[in-house]
Amino acid sequence: MSAAPGRELRQRVRAALLELGADPTVAERRGLPLFADARQLQCVGLGTDGRDKFLAPRAAAAWGAMCQAATADGIELLLLSAFRSFDFQLALIRGKLARGRDIAEVLTVNAPPGCSEHHSGRAVDIGARDIPALEEEFDSTPAFRWLVEHAARFGFGLSFPRGNRYGYLYEPWHWCWNGGSKI
């Protein structure tokens, strides 16, 4: 990303944080990286919500290979979420605020708009049958144990372990492709 779009994205993040009633410097203070919306996306199938999910092409290929390997090992990886735009993230947070949630608490669970790995088209939220979506309980599933053992081979890593440097709550369901795929 060139300097001008980087500056523009930083300004857009600050404006969104102000609009949401948050400290406009929270992204900088927490050292949150910025992510522009992916420009090329590929459909990777339906999510558990019945809607098409999209990833950047190389992440999509790695996701497909990882799912095939998991299936071969008897493991099902349910796709909950993939690409989310800046505007979708902003709307998601607005919705939580409208339901009475506190912005500081929301920003421990959701990245500010412009700071979500989902914008890059490389992040997926993964679930398993018979457990609630997007809950810590995911870390007790065979799917999570399989990911811990095998995801790195496909270039995926757990983004937000306990005590992560960004101040997010533990998210065992959130995995991001970092380009290190060995497939």
Domain boundaries, the chain: 3-177
Please report where in the chains the tokens 């993040």 appear, as a residue: 13
Where is 89: in which H helix or E strand? Answer: helix 86-98
25-52 confidence digits (pLDDT tens): 999 999 999 999 999 999 999 999 999 9
76 class by beta-carbon count within 10 Å (0-12 exposed, 13-18 middle, 19+ buried) = middle
For residue 75, the model assigns a pLDDT of 98
**Count of Cβ atoms closer than 10 Å to residue 55 Cβ:** 27
What is the model's pLDDT at position 1?
Answer: 36
pLDDT score for 62: 97
pLDDT band of 4, cuts 50, 70, 90: very low
Question: Encoding tokens for residue 93?
Answer: 């947070």
pLDDT digits (tens, 9 = 90+) for 49-65: 999 999 999 999 999 99
C-alpha–C-alpha distance, residues 25 and 18, integer Å: 9
| Secondary structure (DSSP) of 6-38 | HHHHHHHHHHHHHHHTS-TTHHHHTTPPP-PPP
Q: Is the pLDDT of residue 182 over 70?
A: no
Instruction: Please say whether the beta carbons of 58 and 38 come within 8 A.
Output: no
pLDDT per residue over 141-162, tens digit each?
999 999 999 999 999 999 999 9
Domain 3-177 has CATH 3.30.1380.10: yes
At 179 the pLDDT is 83
Contact between residue 59 and residue 35 where contact means Cβ atoms under 8 Å apart: no
